[in-house]
Structures are given as structure tokens and as C-alpha cells.
Chain A
Amino acid sequence: MSILLEFFQAFQYPFMQRAFVSAFVIGVVCSIIGVFVLLRGLIFLGQAIAHSAFAGAALAILLGIDPILTIIGFSVVSAVGIGYVNQKKLMNSEVIIGIVFAFFMALAILFIGLHGEYSSDINSILFGNILLVDLADMLLLIVFSFVILLIVFAIKKELYFMTFNSQQAQVSGVPVKFLSYLFLIAVSLTISVSLKAIGAILVFAMIVTPAAAAYQWTFKINTMIILSAIFGVFSAVFGLFFSYILDLPSGSTIVILITLIFVISFLASPKRRSAKKDLLECPFCKDYLPGPCDECDGDCDLGIPHTHEDDRIIISTKHLPDKEPTTHNHMEEETKQ
């Protein structure tokens, strides 16, 4: 109880208020943009962006200037550069991402080396500290998050279509090229403004993991967005809470929490809940029937009694011995079981 009290008492300090607001905003913006990063398969691209942002921060420390401009500059350049190479299909996207990733890490290490000393600034950008977010950082975060969310919701259905089938989206008149770049820039900005609170190494977890957890629960895109935001905010706010009362690094506490949520979601996922105990997947057909058969209203070509549950074909163990396929009627089967 006294711990809780201590936490709430801390809210009288401006640093705690800022930390709370930042945690909330990062939780929302990262997790929502993360839904589309995940569905578009841009995971490694995002990781490369985060590391180039770190190189930008290292350069700013070396030059003694405000890091936000170099962070945004580096991350946008790397995102758009990789996006361009992918657009032109010049090489496999993993190759170019790997090269850019390593190059920006090399730059970061070079800048740190040139700086001579390993300052606490570098530490805070690499690992992040949400309690050190100052007023300017917080305002920047709020303004950028607002713009990013505005962009995402403006192009939400187009992004969704591109995610599902970009060729078809293009033919239907979605400006796929332009929106891909716009989206990459939005991802870069998200990473840039979240860097100080979460740290370059962990910021990407805030983007991928809530979305991956939400993915386990639903087949509806809007539900996935809402769930992802809830998971993101929950882990960011409670991460802040635990890191404060237990005196732990904030970024790492937040990421551990969201990973826990992911693991629970994965284990409890209705998408992979297996059939009931006495029922088995059909050993004959699961290989060649990806889902319900096409004409399963009446007779079915499967040749063995089975039921359809969601996505799987299930047959009772008592039917397993008769491997001789039989024709049957689904209506009869239901009454037997």
C-alpha cells in the first residue's frame, strides 16, 4: 500500500507527470503504427531505422547539438533509402536492410569513438530513460504523435488494402508508391520521438510486440488496432510504475511487460487453440485441405466422418481405425457425436 502511495505522491513532481504523459502517448502511437508495420512485414526495416536513429543521436552528441534533428534526419534517410531500393526491386529487401543496419551501427560507433568519452548522453539514448524526458521532449512527442496518428487514420483503409495485396491496391487506384514512403516516414518519426524515453535498442519492441499480441486475438483490423493500443498503453504505464517503485530501467521494464502480454496472448490465442482432447485433426486430409471443403453442405469428398470447427477439420478418434474411406452425410454424423 505504501508503495502505491509513494508512486502517486511522486505525481506532484513535474518529471513524473511528464513521464506518465510520455508513456501514455508512446504506448498509443507506437502500438497503432505497429499494426501496419507488422502486417506489412516491415519488422527488420523498423529495426534498421531505430539503429540509424541512434547513429543520428551519436552524431549530435559528437557535434554538441540538439539530437532530435539528426535523429529524424538519419532515420528518415535510411527508411526512404531502403524503401527506394525495395520499390525498384534492385535486390532482396533483407540484403539492403542488413547492409544499412550494419552501416549505421558502424557510423554510431565511429561517432562515439571520435567523441572520445562514453558519456551518459549516449547511455540514455541507447537505453532510454522515461524519467529524464523534459518539457521540450514531451511537447515534441505529443505534436508528432498527433501528426503521425492523423496520417495513419487518413490513409488507414488504403494502407490496409496495400497490406493485403499491394498489386491489387495499385490497380484499384491506391497511390501505393507515395503511401509506402509516407508510411515509412511516419514510422521513422515515431521511432525518433520515442527514442529518448525507451532507447534505441528497445523502441522497436514497443512497435512490434503490442501489435503481435493483438494479432493473436482477432480477425478484425479495427479490433486489432484497439487491442494493440490498449496493450501498448497498459505496458507503458505499468512499466513506468514498476520501474519507479522497484528502481529498474524504464525501457526494459516496459518491454518485459509487453513481452509478457504477448506470451500470454500467444498461449491463449483463439487462433491456435487446439481441438478438444478426444478429437484429432484428420491425418488424411490436413495436408491437402487448407480449410473447409468447398461443397460441405452435404456429401463431402473427404471420405471419413469429420466436423468443421472454425478453420480445422476434426475427426473423432473413434473413426480413426476405419481407414477405409466411407461416404457419409454430415447431418447424420452430428447426431451420432
Chain B
Amino acid sequence: MTSKEISKMNNSSVDSSNKPQKPIICIHDVVVAYQSNVAIFDINLDIYRNEFVGICGPNGSGKSTLLKSIIGAVDPLKGTVKILGEDILKKGNLHGLRKKFGYLPQMSEIDRNFPALVKDVVGMGLYSTVGLFRTLNKNDSERIDRALEIVELDQFKDRPIGHLSGGQQQKVMIARGIVNDPEILFLDEPTSALDFKVARNIMSLIRKIHEETELTIILVSHDIDFIRNNCSRAVCMNRRIVWEGNPKDKEFDEVINRVFLK
């Protein structure tokens, strides 16, 4: 079984009435290396509109690298990545495409006293739509309010970002990721630094966003249960794609056991 066959199978089960869709993301034979270290290789993956893809794998297995190669933050040694039919490795394309996706890198600590309010941070997600010298306008601040409402932090918009708890900060980052109405949202371990209860809270927020919007979500997470119960497709990585398919399959558990516990 090739990745393409699986994607098509999954896709047709979602909406069989429609004619076969084109993939929204098309990754072909990608290899990424840092200096002389090959981080990921042999990556072939098609992702379709409105999918909710969960990527899992041990630490250092190249999950973050995979995300970064899709959004053009690292250049692959070899292979092609197409988003919405456009090759991101062609310099001109990437700039326009960036407006169509949101990305949350792995969490980093925020200085408690950093001079930024919650609404400023969410507003950063709109900067790519505003030219030099210009600042955000009223329409933009309405979009910021809406994004904050979705993550249920609207009453926090004038608080300093450093004063929020880790979970709240992460929700703000999600709001920033979706404030420009992207078509694809990339989330890299959004709950890795949070305790269990808060992590669950964030995860159900992500599920809610996927259910209520047309968004295609690609999530890197160690939360196998969450992937099993919520994602439309699971991808298991260990420097290459070890397995992909329906996370409700028994095979998924077997692969997880094999990859994580060997």
C-alpha cells in the first residue's frame, strides 16, 4: 500500500459523493539534512482538504523537521513540496502561500515583562497582510477579537502576554495561528510543556476548531489517545514515515508499540 492509496481511501470515505479531490499538500520524495545529518528521508505524503492529520513519533524522529519542510522553513536536500498546487521551493510562491497557513512552533518561554499585550501577539498573525509603515486597522482588531473569542480568551485581550499561564499563552498562540483565516494550520506539540489537565483543554479546543471550520490541521503530538479519537489520519514517523493510516485501526497500536517501545 502506498501513501497515495491510503490517502485516497480515507478521502473517499469522508465525502464519496464528490469527484476525487486534489491534495492540498503534496510531499514527494523529500530528504532533509542538517549539515551531514540526515534528519528525514523518503517522505511521501498527500494531505487533503479538511483532513485532521496527527503526526507522532519518538523525540528526534524528525516531526518538527517535517513540518518545517512543508512550510518552507528548512530547505530539503531533495524532493518537492507543493501546497495548493504550487511548488513552495520556488522563491516567489512561498510568500503568497504563507498567508494561507498558520504555524505554531514548539512552545518557548515568554519573558514575564515583555511589552506585548495579548491582542498585540494575536495581531502579529496579520502582519503579513499589512505593508511597511502601516499598522493594524479597525477591521484587523475585529478579526483579533474573533480569534480570541474562538479560544475563549476575549476578556484577556488587554493583559500582558507574560502574565498568562502556560495554557493560556498557548491558546493565544493558537488564536494568532488562525487570525488570518488560514486554510492549513500546523501545530508542533502544542501541549508538550503543559500539565495533563491543561493539555486536554487545549486539545479539545483544537478539535472544536477543526469541527467548526474548514481548516485542514496537521498536528504533531505525543498524545496517542487524542490522535486515535480525533484525527482522520495518523502518520507515525521515525526519520521516515513508518506507517500511516486510520488511527482507529488495530495496526496503529501495534506500530506505536513497535516504534516507541523497542
Does residue B9 face the partner (Cβ distance < 8 Å to A)? Answer: no
* A201 → B minimal CB distance (Å): 29
Stretch at the interface among B10-18, B129-137, B221-229, B241-249: B129-137
Report Cα–Cα, A170/B132, bound state, in Å. 16
Flag if B116 contacts A174 (CB, 8 Å): no
* A14 → B minimal CB distance (Å): 36
User: Which residues of chain A are within 8 angstroms of B163 by Cβ–Cβ distance?
Assistant: 291-292, 310-311
User: Which residues of chain B are within 8 angstroms of A170 by Cβ–Cβ distance?
Assistant: 73
Does residue A171 face the partner (Cβ distance < 8 Å to B)? Answer: yes
Residue B115 contacts which of A39, A154, A290, A293 (CB distance < 8 angstroms)? A39
Q: How many residues of A contact B (CB 8 A)?
A: 34
On whether A219 and B165 interact (CB within 8 A), knowing A154-B133, A157-B127, the answer reads no
Flag if B105 contacts A173 (CB, 8 Å): no
User: Which residues of chain B are within 8 angstroms of A39 by Cβ–Cβ distance?
Assistant: 114-115
Report Cα–Cα, A164/B111, bound state, in Å. 9
Report Cα–Cα, A1/B65, bound state, in Å. 70
Does residue A220 face the partner (Cβ distance < 8 Å to B)? Answer: yes
Interface of chain B, main secondary structure: mixed
User: Which residues of chain B are within 8 angstroms of A290 by Cβ–Cβ distance?
Assistant: 112, 165-166
- Which B residue sits closest to A289, measured CB to CB? B165
Known: A157-B124, A168-B105, A292-B164. 9 other contacts (CB 8 A): A160-B124, A161-B127, A171-B98, A172-B128, A220-B117, A221-B115, A291-B162, A291-B168, A311-B112
Q: In the A-B complex, list the 3 residue pairs whose CB atoms are closest, starting with the nearest.
A: A219-B160, A173-B98, A311-B163
A binding-site residues for B, Cβ under 8 Å: 39, 153-155, 157-158, 160-161, 164-165, 167-174, 215, 218-221, 223-224, 271, 289-294, 310-311
Supply 18 A–B pairs (Cβ within 8 Å), ascending by A: A157-B130, A164-B124, A168-B124, A171-B98, A215-B113, A219-B117, A219-B162, A220-B115, A221-B116, A223-B115, A224-B115, A271-B113, A290-B166, A291-B163, A291-B164, A292-B165, A294-B198, A311-B112
B binding-site residues for A, Cβ under 8 Å: 71-73, 94-95, 98-99, 103-105, 108, 112-117, 120-121, 124-125, 127-128, 130, 132-133, 135, 160, 162-168, 198, 201
